[in-house]
Amino acid sequence: MTDDPPHRKRIGFLSFGHWSGAPGSQTQSGGEALRQAVELAVAAEEIGIDGAFFRVHHYQRQHAAPFPLLAAIGTATSRIEIGTGVIDMRYENPLYMAEDAGAADLLAGERLQLGISRGFQYLHLVGALLTGRHRVSLERQGVLGEELACDHPEYEIGKQAHDAKRQDTGKSIGCLQE
């Protein structure tokens, strides 16, 4: 046994930073989502919360550029830990990201906790790239190896992503029309 005091439980929050211009949304734009995130972290620190963490989601209406946000939070707070939960490294230049993270950490008084991951769900990317009245099914359709059978022009980017996935795994996905 030691004479150390019992370990204090710590609590934080994780925000995805959702925003939408839809009627009734309380967060109408990306800029508003960023400002609200700073306000949330300041309020969390004031009531004794220990951590403010932000998920990074590209190609969606959510926080996508964490370091300007974390730098702003770091200069508006003094105690709360701040960080990412998590950054998908497939989208990032590791050296440039390290510089941005380092600058945000310095502005925050060395309170930045960097969370990273190695990958993403492929179908989320394809679903985000393919919009309109056609969209990719989130489940395989038909026989594996089947070509993506859509000839609509907005599928060009998706076909490239699909071909890369097929080369990677040998599996294809199908296409649904609404």
Q: Token pair for residue 14?
A: 């994780």
Condensed to tens digits (0 to 9), the pLDDT of residues 17-75 reads 988 988 889 999 999 999 999 999 999 999 999 999 999 887 788 888 999 999 999 99
Assigned token pair, 146? 């089947």
Cα–Cα distances in angstroms (integers) from residue 141 to residues 82, 97, 147, in the given order: 42, 38, 10
Distance from C-alpha of 55 to C-alpha of 87, rounded to nearest angstrom: 7
Provide the strand spans (E) within 6-156: 12-15, 51-54, 81-84, 87-88, 112-113, 116-117, 134-136
The string of pLDDT tens digits covering residues 95-115 is 999 999 999 999 999 999 999
Tokens of 46: 């004031």
- pLDDT computed for residue 2 by the predictor: 52
